[in-house]
């Protein structure tokens, strides 16, 4: 078998593949954070909680209502998105004129409420979600074994990320969104319903997180704290990429996932911390982030 | 009038604190409360008086506990030197984390401190001297200067109380010093402080290191009080709780963090018997309520009430 540094190539490719899967989730989550932050100046700490909520919504739909994977892929983000709109209307909108730190603290509280409730209702052991039938099995590419579901996750998230990018950068709706980012009062004076836009953006951002949650449900154990550990990594990704840039958050999310996967091959002990170490290096060399402006 | 009332309050608070063992209040609970109050005061030095929100203060609190615990168990060190080295270790860690974090401001600062604290958490999880998932158990409290035994809860209580009062007075002193005034100027208007010729990064870094060191002192004491140092001290949720304590009590007030710590620790202690795991949900709801309804906190609202009259 072919080897690089004494490690079989198939093992390296397998880990890179896993890294790319994780990177897809980082990309989708940091993308949602970037969209929300761009318009609302709110760092959404509850992002990880909404991600977990998406996974649990799919799980609950399957167990209680018999709704399968494919409908859940649409319904769970929709339900979580509605919840997001409600949260924005009830809580977040009161904070726009204050220091952004209050938004961070408020969403931290929301995250505790959601995760605490999930923990109480579903327990701490976690449950697994079956891989949908159409995506079971593996592809033998000759040089590596490729589980079909993992390939699907990567493809799906890349498609979702770039569609989001397209909507924001290339459509009229996106132009309105970007205009609101630049100068919301002026846009409102032109007759655009900015509060509605804000609520819809928050709902859309957390729906994206929930979609990532549904996608991840079959590859990980669904637990109440699946989001809280992830959100810190995603924050580091955002610091590395620079929060202002949508493309930047997609690229750095995927890249950091791959780097993490590669670290697992050569020095497994460091795989949990490599993203944070890279963040420290980026802060020393380029404090504004790789794609950021300041 | 205002000053004398405050003074009367402090005299009463001191009298109460000294009388605690006579009043039949469980000393270990009070010690825990004092340690968290010290932690919150240290955190408030950063958030309230320098305008920096650290979301990773558990790293300093927890790692100092580990260092102190490791020194008293594996090396048989005395109580005071172990606490001193634990605090110094936190100060060093604060120097490293602070130097990175002050390169950005506001929410980025918060995210960076959070990420670096997570890094510290993973190091604590895997380092050879922390006992991994089990943590360090059975830490001896030792004796003070070789004579005063701290094994009794009452003796230990007065030791912790003395340390707390020293930290409280020290923070007041720092805030009222010319250094503290510059910090305040930076908090209020950073560009103006720069234009007045202050090396603001140096001031911010010193404030960060001071806050980290005091948080470490609180962590060392807490480890000795309870006799163990575990991963829960370095967890992100612990960083969140100290923010909540400060927020509930009143950011930027001297007594606020103490009041906040009293509320949160009491809630956790007694509520967890009643509602079990729902405590996290309640803490989260308190967070939301604080941010939305009373951002000045208990002490801040009281002070505002007094001024209105």
Model confidence over B191-205: pLDDT tens digits? Answer: 999 999 999 999 999
Cβ atoms A161, A31 nearer than 8 A: yes
On whether any CB of chain A is under 8 Å from the CB of B293, the answer is no
Confidence at residue B202, expressed as pLDDT on a 0 to 100 scale:
94
Query: Is residue B31 a contact partner of residue B157, using CB atoms and an 8 Å limit?
Result: yes
Given pLDDT bands bounded at 50, 70 and 90, which one contains residue A125?
Answer: confident
Q: Which pLDDT score is estimated for A159? A: 95
Give the burial class of B272: count Cβ atoms within 10 A of its Cβ; 0-12 exposed, 13-18 middle, 19 or more buried.
middle
With an 8 Å Cβ cutoff, is B183 touching chain A?
no
Q: Which residue's entry shows tokens 């669904």?
A: A222
Q: Do A29 and A235 contact (CB within 8 A), yes or no?
A: no
In terms of CA atoms, which chain A residue is nearest residue B96? A280
Query: Which DSSP state fits A5?
Result: T
Using alpha carbons, list the distances in angstroms from residue A97 to A42, A277, B180: 11, 34, 28
Range with lowest mean pLDDT among A4-13, B198-207, B240-249: A4-13
Residue B62 has pLDDT above 70, yes or no: yes
Pairwise CB contact (< 8 Å): A273 & B278: no
Name the β-bridge partners of A127. A222
pTM of the model: 0.91
**Is the distance from CB of A163 to CB of A169 less than 8 angstroms?**
no
* pLDDT reported for residue B90: 97
Greatest CA separation for chain A: 67
Q: pLDDT-based confidence at B106, cuts 50/70/90?
A: confident
For residues B130-140, give the mean pLDDT. 83
CB contact (8 A) between residue A228 and residue B104: no
Q: Residue A270 — pLDDT band, cuts 50, 70, 90?
A: confident
A283: nearest CA partner in chain B: B100
Residue B2: what pLDDT?
57
Q: Is the ipTM of this complex over 0.95?
A: no
| Nearest-CA distance B79 → chain A (Å) | 33
> Among candidates B301, B289, B188, which has minimal Cα distance to B255?
B301
User: Chain A: nearest CA to B148, how far in angstroms?
Assistant: 43
Q: Identify which has the larger pLDDT, B138 or A294.
A: B138
CA dihedral B266, B267, B272, B278 (to 10 degrees): -160
Rounded to whole angstroms, the Cα distance separating B238 from A15 reads 33
Residues within 8 A of A (CB atoms), B 247-266 only: 247
Q: What is the DSSP letter of A61?
A: I
A101: left (phi > 0), else alpha (psi -120 to 50), else beta? alpha
CA nearest to B109 within chain A: A239
What's the mean pLDDT in A52-81? 94
| Percent share of chain A, pLDDT over 70 | 98
DSSP state of A290: S
Question: Quick count: other Cβ atoms within 10 Å of Cβ B227?
Answer: 14
Q: How far apart are CA B177 and CA B49, in angstroms?
A: 12
Closest CA to A197 of A205, A250, A33, A75: A205
Which residue, A37, A32, A69, A23, is CA-closest to A206? A32
Interface of B with A in 114-133 (CB under 8 A): 114-116, 118-119, 122-123, 126
Radius of gyration of chain A (CA): 19
DSSP codes, B244-275: HHHHHH-TT-SSHHHHHHHHHHHHHHHHHHHH
Q: Mean of the per-residue pLDDT values for chain B?
A: 90
- Report residue A232 as tokens: 């810190």
Mean pLDDT computed over A42-48: 92
Helix ranges (DSSP H) in A130-245: 148-170, 172-182, 184-189, 194-216, 226-241
CA distance B234 to B135: 11
Taking CB atoms and an 8 Å limit, are A276 and B277 in contact across chains? no
A268 pLDDT above the threshold of 60: yes
Q: Is B295 on the interface with A (CB under 8 A)?
A: yes
Q: Does B108 touch chain A (CB under 8 A)?
A: yes
Confidence band of B3 (pLDDT split at 50, 70, 90):
low
What pLDDT does residue A144 have?
Answer: 79
Q: Is the confidence at residue B1, as pLDDT, over 50?
A: no
User: Binning pLDDT at 50, 70 and 90, where does residue B145 land?
Assistant: low
* Banded pLDDT at B152 (limits 50, 70, 90): confident
Q: Which residues of chain B neighbour A276 with C-beta distances below 8 Å?
A: 115-116, 118-119
Asked if pLDDT for residue A253 goes beyond 60, the answer is: yes
What would the mean pLDDT of B304-309 be, rounded to a whole number? 81
Q: How many whole angstroms separate alpha carbon B58 and alpha carbon B185? A: 27
How far apart are the CA of B257 and the nearest CA of chain A, in angstroms?
16
Quick check: B115 and A91 CB within 8 A? no
What is residue A1's predicted lDDT score, i.e. its pLDDT? 54
Token readout for A263 is 């670290």
Binary contact (A273, B119; C-beta < 8 A): yes
B112 to chain A, any CB pair closer than 8 A? The answer is yes
Bridge-partner residues for A7, per DSSP? A4
> What proportions of chain A, in percent to the nearest 5, are helix, strand and coil?
75, 5, 20
pLDDT more than 70, % of chain B? 97
Q: A70 falls in which pLDDT band (50, 70, 90)?
A: very high
All residues of chain A having their beta carbon less than 8 Å from the beta carbon of residue B112 are 239, 279, 283
Angle at A231 between CA A148 and CA B132, to 5 degrees: 95
pLDDT score for A294: 54
**What is the model's pLDDT at position A49?**
96
**Interface contacts A/B by beta carbons within 8 Å:** 116
Phi–psi pair at A3, nearest 5 degrees: -130, 150
pLDDT (mean) for A137-156: 87
Give pLDDT, residue B138: 82
pLDDT at residue A293, rounded to an integer? 64
Token digits for B306?
Answer: 């007094």
């Amino acid at each position: 078998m072919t080897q690089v540094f004494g490690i079989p190539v198939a093992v390296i490719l397998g880990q890179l593949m896993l890294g790319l899967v994780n990177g897809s989730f980082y990309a989708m989550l940091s993308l949602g954070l970037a969209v929300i932050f761009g318009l609302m100046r709110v760092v959404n700490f509850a992002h990880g909680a909404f991600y977990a909520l998406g996974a649990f919504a799919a799980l609950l739909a399957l167990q209680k209502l018999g709704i399968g994977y494919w409908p859940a892929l649409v319904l769970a983000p929709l339900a979580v998105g509605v919840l997001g709109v409600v949260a924005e209307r009830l809580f977040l909108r009161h904070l726009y004129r204050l220091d952004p730190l209050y938004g961070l603290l408020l969403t931290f509280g929301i995250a505790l409420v959601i995760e605490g409730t999930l923990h109480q209702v579903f327990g701490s052991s976690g449950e697994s979600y079956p891989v949908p039938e159409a995506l079971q099995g593996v592809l033998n590419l000759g040089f590596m074994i490729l589980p079909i579901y993992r390939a699907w996750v990567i493809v799906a998230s890349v498609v979702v990320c770039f569609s989001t990018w397209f909507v924001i950068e290339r459509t009229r709706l996106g132009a309105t969104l970007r205009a609101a980012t630049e100068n919301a009062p002026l846009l409102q004076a032109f007759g655009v319903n900015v509060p509605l836009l804000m609520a819809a953006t928050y709902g859309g951002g957390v729906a994206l997180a929930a979609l990532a949650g549904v996608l991840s449900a079959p590859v990980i154990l669904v637990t109440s704290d699946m989001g809280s550990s992830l959100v810190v990594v995603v924050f580091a990704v955002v610091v590395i990429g620079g929060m202002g840039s949508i493309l930047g958050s997609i690229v750095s999310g995927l890249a950091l996932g791959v780097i993490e996967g590669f670290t697992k091959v050569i020095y497994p002990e460091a795989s949990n911390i490599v993203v944070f170490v890279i963040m420290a290096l980026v802060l020393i060399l380029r404090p504004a982030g790789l794609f950021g402006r300041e | 009038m205002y000053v004398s009332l405050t003074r009367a309050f402090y005299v009463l608070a001191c009298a109460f604190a000294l009388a605690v063992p006579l009043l039949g209040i469980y000393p270990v609970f009070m010690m825990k409360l004092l340690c968290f109050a010290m932690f919150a005061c240290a955190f408030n030095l950063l958030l309230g008086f320098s305008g920096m929100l650290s979301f990773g203060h558990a790293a300093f609190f927890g790692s100092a506990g580990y260092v102190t615990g490791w020194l008293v168990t594996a090396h048989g060190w005395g109580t005071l030197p172990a606490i001193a080295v634990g605090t110094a270790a936190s100060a060093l860690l604060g120097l490293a984390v602070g130097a990175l974090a002050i390169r950005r401001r506001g929410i980025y600062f918060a995210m960076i401190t959070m990420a670096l604290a997570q890094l510290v958490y993973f190091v604590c999880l895997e380092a050879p001297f922390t006992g991994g998932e089990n943590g360090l158990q059975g830490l001896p409290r030792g004796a003070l200067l070789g004579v005063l035994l701290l094994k009794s809860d009452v003796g230990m209580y007065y030791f912790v109380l003395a340390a707390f009062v020293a930290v409280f007075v020290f923070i007041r002193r720092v805030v009222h010093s010319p250094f503290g005034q510059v910090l305040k100027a930076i908090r209020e208007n950073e560009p103006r402080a720069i234009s007045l010729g202050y090396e603001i990064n140096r001031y911010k870094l010193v404030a960060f290191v001071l806050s980290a060191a005091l948080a470490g002192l609180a962590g060392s004491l807490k480890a000795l009080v309870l006799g163990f140092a575990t991963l829960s001290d370095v967890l992100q949720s612990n960083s969140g709780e100290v923010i909540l304590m400060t927020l509930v009590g009143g950011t930027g007030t001297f007594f606020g963090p103490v009041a906040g710590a009293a509320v949160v620790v009491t809630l956790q202690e007694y509520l967890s018997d009643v509602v079990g795991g729902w405590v996290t949900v309640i803490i989260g709801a308190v967070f939301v309520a604080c941010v939305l309804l009373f951002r000045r906190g208990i002490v801040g609202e009281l002070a505002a009430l007094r001024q209105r009259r």
